[in-house]
């Protein structure tokens, strides 16, 4: 049965079964009087992951994508063409280069914010203030006050905000949590290691140049410091620069740290410390660290991060991973698999990613899709849609995203200032460190105005 025919049939025929559940209950909250709601959707940031996220949403709900926004006109046009081929109506969405005009001129139920990190806060706050539910990519912000302002705006306006930390919706990781952690197979947990050893840091040192004519670099830069255009920045290279994000910690650590927090039910860390820097790859234009260790201290054990963008991974099977050490065994987790290794004679457990090519054959040919992650994004989108209907907090609620993002920002600040921090979530300040607290917000370039918590 074709996917779209299946969805229509599932909505109408309540006696059908999906995994032993009546079909009308298999998509809770998505149906009203036998019909799926057709949400009006907009996307801000139509690059690589913007399209990945939006196309997964189209796969799980008959949404109507009515607007796209991007400061790169070529990227924008490509996304509009793809969406017109993939959404049910076959209509091409309207296009804007300025998200403010898009939000003012069109009506939306849902907006996806898939911009570079320095552009997450302002569009999210603008959207929720207009009564729109938002999906925003991780990390939610480039400074801590931005994230706090996003959280308070979402709560003030009663909006559902899902953060793109889709490890919380990854099928094989949910299985690992249920089979290993919740069953108590680890016993007492004493330490968690999280890591990334991908050679992902830019190595080039190209000269500055004029931006391409199809890119509005002034608007792309927005509230970030104005730097000379460089081919490393766009497209997809901006993570090489701290001006636009939070380095490898803000990109890769946040995924694994957030996953561990979710899996082990951890809240704020009490202290954060970090060290590292550019220790090996000194010839690159990039200014993010190539080596960094961070410790997030929780009541019963530390969560310790390590990244190196050079050399070999200690465990080639788990180069980007979380390893949970318990008295009765070890649980290794990645986007590609999990393994539980018991101490003694217990049963080893193993899990693999869920591929759904039978339901979504387009996954096999979609350009740049991380195919092992597609089912996780779909699950994350389903949870988002369910919570839009129920008005409950989604699995990666904006508050959870704020905790994980803030912790990673604190790690970078600890490395920068060379000391550990005690964090007080009640006051949202670093304890007894006036100098460090000055760094909780970054200066905004005029005329952009830094958001404030309400």
pLDDT, tens only, 111-150:
999 999 999 999 999 999 999 999 999 999 999 999 999 9
Are 25 and 36 a contacting pair, CB within 8 Å?
no
> What is this structure's pTM?
0.92
Tell whether 348 is covered by a domain.
yes
Q: What is residue 18's predicted lDDT score, i.e. its pLDDT?
A: 27
366 inside domain: no
Beta bridge partners of 231: none
Q: Is the pLDDT of residue 246 over 50?
A: yes
Quick one: 240 and 294 in the same domain? yes
Residues 143, 167: Cα–Cα separation, whole Å? 23
Residue 453 confidence class, pLDDT cut points 50, 70, 90: very high
- Residue 187 predicted with pLDDT over 80: yes
What is the phi/psi pair of residue 392, to 5°?
-90, 170
Instruction: Give a yes or no: residue 43 inside a domain.
Output: yes
The pLDDT of 20-38, averaged and rounded, is: 45
Is pLDDT above 80 for 21? no
Bridge-partner residues for 22, per DSSP?
A: 17
Q: What is the domain extent for residue 189?
A: 169-220+229-356+400-440
Q: 420 and 381, same structural domain? A: no
Residue 35 pLDDT: 61
Looking at the structure, do residues 86 and 200 belong to the same domain, yes or no?
no
Task: Determine, yes or no, domain membership for 454.
Answer: no
- The band of 454, judged by pLDDT with boundaries at 50, 70 and 90, is confident
The strand pairing partners of 295, in sequence order, are: 273, 304
Q: Is the pLDDT of residue 8 over 90?
A: no
Q: Are strands 320-326 and 329-333 parallel, antiparallel or unpaired?
A: antiparallel
As a dihedral over the C-alpha atoms of residue 237, residue 194, residue 369, residue 66, rounded to 10 degrees, the angle is -80
Residue 363 DSSP label:
G
Q: Is residue 179 part of a domain?
A: yes
Please indicate, yes or no, whether residues 134 and 182 belong to a single structural domain of this protein: no
pLDDT at 7 over 80: no
User: What backbone phi and psi angles, to 5 degrees, belong to 215?
Assistant: -115, 125
Using CA atoms, how far apart are residues 449 and 454, in angstroms rounded to an integer?
A: 15
Chain segment 67-83, per-residue pLDDT in tens: 999 999 999 999 999 99
High-pLDDT (> 70) share of the chain, %: 92
Q: Order of strands, edge to edge, in the sheet holding 302-308?
A: 349-351, 338-342, 329-333, 320-326, 189-196, 302-308, 291-297, 271-277, 421-424, 429-430
Could you tell me the CA-to-CA distances from 339 to 243, 351, 352 in Å, in that order?
38, 7, 9
Residues 30, 87: one domain?
A: yes
> Is 126 among the domain residues?
yes
> Chain centroid to CA 326: how far?
28
User: Rounded distance, CA 167 to CA 172, Å?
Assistant: 9
CATH of the domain at 383: 3.40.50.720
**Element (DSSP H or E) covering residue 341:** strand 338-342
**What value, to the nearest 5°, has the Cα angle with vertex 24 and ends 158 and 382?**
45
CA-closest candidate to residue 267, choices 134, 162, 400, 141:
400
Q: What is the pLDDT of residues 265-299, one digit of tens each?
A: 999 999 999 999 999 999 999 999 999 999 999 99
SS (H, E, C) 187-253: CCEEEEEEEECCCCCCCCCCCECCCCCCECHHHHHCCCCCCCCECCCCCCCHHHCCCCCCHHHHHHH
Tokens for 68?
Answer: 């796209």
Which of 306, 254, 305 lies closest to 120 in space, CA to CA?
Answer: 254
Whether 119 and 179 share a structural domain: no
Number of separate domains in the chain: 2
CATH assignment at residue 337: 3.30.360.10
pLDDT class of 224 with cuts at 50, 70, 90: very high
* Co-location of 142 and 175 in the same domain: no
Predicted confidence at residue 93, as pLDDT, reads 98
Considering the domain architecture, whether residues 157 and 194 belong to the same structural domain is answered as no
Same domain, 183 and 97: no
How does the average pLDDT of the chain come out, rounded? 93
- Give the residue, 368 or 6, on which the prediction is more confident: 368
- Cα(400)–Cα(403) distance, integer angstroms: 5
pLDDT digit string, tens, across residues 440-451: 999 999 999 999
What's the token pair of residue 452?
């404030």
Structure tokens at 194: 């999280």
What average pLDDT does the segment 340-361 reach? 96
Q: Which residues contact 117 (CB under 8 A, 6 or more apart)?
A: 137, 139, 141, 142, 244, 245, 246, 250
- Does one domain contain both 393 and 404? no
Question: Region 154-163: what's the mean pLDDT?
Answer: 98
Domain co-membership, 314 together with 406 = yes
What one-character DSSP code corresponds to residue 164? S
From first CA to last CA, the distance across the chain in angstroms is 50
Rounded Cα–Cα distance for residues 200 and 240 (Å): 9
Mean per-residue pLDDT for 78-102? 98
């Amino acid at each position: 049965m074709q996917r779209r025919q299946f969805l229509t049939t599932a909505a109408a025929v309540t006696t059908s079964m999906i995994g032993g559940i009546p079909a009308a209950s298999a998509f809770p909250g998505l149906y009203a009087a036998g019909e799926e709601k057709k949400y009006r959707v907009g996307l801000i940031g139509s690059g690589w992951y913007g399209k990945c996220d939006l196309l997964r949403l189209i796969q799980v709900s008959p949404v109507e994508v009515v607007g796209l926004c991007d400061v790169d006109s070529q990227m924008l046009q490509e996304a509009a063409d793809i969406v017109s081929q993939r959404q049910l109506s076959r209509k091409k969405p309207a296009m804007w280069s300025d998200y403010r005009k898009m939000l003012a001129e069109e009506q939306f139920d849902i907006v996806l914010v898939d911009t570079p990190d320095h552009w997450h806060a302002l569009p999210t706050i603008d959207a929720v203030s207009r009564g729109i539910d938002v999906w925003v990519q991780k990390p939610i912000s480039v400074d801590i006050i931005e994230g706090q302002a996003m959280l308070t705006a979402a709560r003030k306006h009663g909006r559902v905000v899902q953060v793109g930390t889709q490890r919380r919706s990854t099928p094989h990781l949910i299985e690992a949590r249920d089979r290993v952690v919740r069953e108590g197979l680890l016993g007492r947990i004493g330490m968690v290691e999280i890591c990334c050893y991908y050679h992902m840091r830019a190595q080039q040192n190209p000269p500055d140049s004029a931006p391409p004519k199809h890119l509005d670099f002034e608007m792309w830069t927005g509230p970030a410091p104005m730097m000379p255009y460089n081919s490393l920045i766009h497209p997809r290279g901006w993570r090489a620069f701290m001006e636009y994000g939070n380095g490898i910690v803000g990109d890769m650590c946040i995924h694994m740290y957030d996953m561990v927090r979710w899996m082990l039910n951890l809240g704020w860390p009490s202290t954060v410390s970090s060290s590292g820097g550019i220790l090996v790859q000194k010839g690159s234009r990039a200014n993010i660290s190539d080596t960094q260790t961070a410790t997030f201290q929780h009541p019963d054990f530390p969560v310790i991060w390590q990244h190196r963008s050079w050399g070999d991974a200690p465990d080639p099977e788990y180069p980007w991973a979380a390893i949970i050490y318990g008295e009765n065994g070890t649980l290794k987790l990645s986007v590609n698999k999990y393994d539980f290794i018991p101490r003694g004679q217990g049963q080893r457990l193993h899990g693999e990613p869920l591929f759904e090519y039978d339901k979504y054959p387009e996954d096999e040919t979609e350009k740049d899709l991380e195919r092992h992650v597609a089912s996780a994004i779909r699950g994350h989108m389903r949870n988002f849609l369910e919570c839009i209907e129920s008005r409950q907090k989604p699995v990666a609620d904006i508050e959870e995203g704020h905790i994980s993002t803030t912790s990673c920002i604190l790690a970078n600040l600890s490395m920068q200032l060379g000391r550990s921090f005690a964090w007080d979530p009640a006051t949202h300040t670093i304890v007894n460190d006036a100098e460090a607290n000055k760094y909780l917000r970054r200066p905004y370039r005029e005329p952009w105005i830094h958001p404030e918590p309400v």
